[in-house]
């Protein structure tokens, strides 16, 4: 160790820069130096040490999932993430990344938590380190046709297919898996819990940002280089002025309303506020009967909206009923039937407990825009349920007085919220 007393503060700074990591004895000597400037250098070094220790601990935490899998003999682990689910324009991009075992990449995190400059730096680092990288894309037209969820899963499968090494396990950011040919595992908040997913997050984000900059050259009026297709004030103003361009997502709110007729706006609101498939079918019939008097572009846009809402309602209903059935079983109910149809109506679940026959109506909310789901069981809906129940009792006589329950499933939170209203209404 050099004699500090013979060195100027500038020389000490230069020496520290030339040393990868000063040892503990050197740091202690700096801390004991009589010069305040030297002690300040020591304090800075200590802060850097602590920051580095915190960063290493964070990165090690993000390797826990991968390490546990490798302990079970699972070697090639692909992290998968996407960029561009929310924008009004441009594709959704998915990336799949397989990193070497126990790789630590300083600064790697969820791409949304990083600056553009840092993402660009990490993009190059990941490409240099990764065993293999694959990307996939779903175009705006595919998003409009299949909905954003299905289009995203298509892009993820495409990214996995592009890998030069077949993964033994796929870690997907989120709560759903895309259905690739490989073993899959959903990880909620995965871009903060897994380095492999975080790496995929950066690759997807930078790839998409660069693509949107290229689109800016083709469609300069919209400012894609700045907002990357998201619904900024400038972007919405450009949409109003110029109308949608070929890379806009016609099924997205903020795009489909642009330059539309008053009829379109009325019917679009009806589609979006439909809380079940019956209501949606009714508004669909009304649109069909009026279609000759509506501009064909508007009719096409309404059809896309209709399909999107139908898919959303079809997905939310069965999930809510599955959760309700599981909930009832846990409370000691036995399930006698599901989806009984008669007289143009349906009873979701028929259950029995303590020798009481119970007709259960399940209402599932995926958005908070329309109030509590239990409020949707209006007097008219109650009357319909009672008529269907009477039809059931005609086919399956039961001498005890039946009970009518309502179960509300709220899917707007991070976890489902279930509310059970026993004897909610009477015949």
- Output the 3-class SS for 376-426: HCCHHHHHHHHHHHHHHHHHCCCCCCCEEEEEEEECCCCCCEEEEEEEEEC
Lowest mean pLDDT among 11-20, 308-317, 348-357: 308-317
Mean pLDDT of 122-138: 98
pLDDT band at 399 (very low <50, low <70, confident <90, very high): low
pTM for the structure as a whole: 0.61
Mean pLDDT of 39-51: 86
Mean pLDDT of 352-367: 90
Strand-pair partners of 218: none
Q: Residue 348 and residue 404: Cα distance in Å, rounded?
A: 11
Mean pLDDT of 40-56: 84
Q: Does residue 284 register a pLDDT over 70?
A: yes
Question: Does the structural domain 64-215 have CATH classification 3.30.420.10?
Answer: yes
Give the pLDDT of residue 277: 80
Q: Does residue 1 register a pLDDT over 90?
A: no
Q: Residue 180 and residue 106: Cα distance in Å, rounded?
A: 30
Give the pLDDT of residue 138: 98
Domains 64-215 and 319-425 share a fold: no
Q: Which residue has better confidence, 203 or 32?
A: 203
Mean pLDDT for the chain overall: 90
Phi-psi region of 47 (alpha: psi -120 to 50; beta: other; left: phi over 0): alpha
Q: Does residue 369 register a pLDDT over 60?
A: no
Q: Nearest-5° angle of CA 405, CA 410, CA 415? A: 125
- Exposure letters 399-416 (e unless 16+ CB within 10 A, then b): eeebbbbbbbbbbeeeee
Mean pLDDT of 17-44: 85
Mean pLDDT of 279-286: 90
Give the pLDDT of residue 155: 98
Tokens 């160790």, residue?
Answer: 1
Domain positions in the chain: 4-58, 64-215, 319-425
In terms of average pLDDT, the best of 75-79, 114-118, 296-300 is 75-79
Question: Does the structural domain 319-425 have CATH classification 3.40.50.2020?
Answer: no
pLDDT band at 173 (very low <50, low <70, confident <90, very high): very high
pLDDT band at 110 (very low <50, low <70, confident <90, very high): confident
């Amino acid at each position: 160790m050099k004699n500090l007393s013979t060195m100027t503060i500038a020389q000490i700074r230069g020496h520290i820069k030339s040393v990868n990591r000063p040892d503990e004895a050197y740091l202690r000597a700096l801390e004991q130096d009589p010069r305040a400037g030297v002690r300040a250098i020591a304090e800075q070094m200590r802060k850097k040490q602590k920051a580095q220790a915190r960063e290493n601990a964070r990165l090690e935490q993000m390797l826990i999932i991968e390490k546990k899998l490798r302990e079970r003999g699972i070697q090639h682990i692909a992290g998968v993430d996407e960029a561009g689910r929310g924008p009004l324009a441009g594709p959704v991009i998915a990336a799949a990344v397989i990193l070497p075992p126990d790789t630590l990449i300083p600064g790697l995190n969820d791409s949304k938590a990083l600056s553009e400059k840092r993402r660009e730096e990490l993009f190059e680092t990941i490409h240099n380190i990764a065993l293999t990288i694959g990307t996939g894309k779903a175009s705006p037209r595919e998003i409009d046709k299949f909905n954003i969820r299905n289009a995203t899963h298509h892009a993820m499968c495409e990214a996995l297919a592009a890998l030069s090494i077949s993964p033994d396990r796929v870690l997907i950011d989120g709560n759903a898996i895309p259905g690739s040919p490989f073993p899959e595992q959903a990880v909620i908040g995965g871009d903060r819990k897994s380095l492999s997913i975080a790496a995929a997050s950066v690759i997807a984000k930078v790839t998409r940002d660069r693509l949107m900059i290229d689109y800016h050259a083709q469609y300069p009026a919209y400012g894609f280089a700045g907002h990357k297709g998201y619904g900024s004030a400038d972007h919405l103003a450009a949409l109003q002025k110029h109308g949608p361009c070929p890379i806009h997502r016609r099924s997205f709110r903020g795009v489909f309303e642009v330059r539309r007729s008053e009829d379109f706006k009325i019917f679009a609101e009806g589609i979006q506020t439909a809380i079940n498939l019956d209501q949606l079918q009714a508004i669909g019939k009304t649109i069909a009967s009026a279609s000759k008097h509506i501009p064909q572009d508007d009719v096409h846009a309404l059809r896309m909206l209709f399909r999107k809402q139908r898919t959303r309602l079809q997905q939310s209903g069965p999930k809510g009923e599955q959760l309700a059935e599981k909930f009832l079983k846990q409370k000691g109910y036995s399930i006698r039937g599901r989806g009984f149809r008669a007289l143009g109506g349906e009873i979701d679940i028929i259950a029995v407990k303590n020798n009481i026959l119970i007709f259960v109506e399940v209402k599932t909310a995926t958005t908070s825009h329309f109030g509590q789901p239990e409020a949707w069981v209006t007097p008219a809906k109650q009357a319909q349920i009672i008529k269907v129940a009477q039809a059931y009792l005609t086919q399956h006589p039961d001498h005890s007085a039946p009970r009518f329950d309502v179960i509300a499933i709220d899917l707007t939170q991070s976890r489902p919220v279930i509310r059970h209203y026993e004897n909610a209404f009477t015949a």
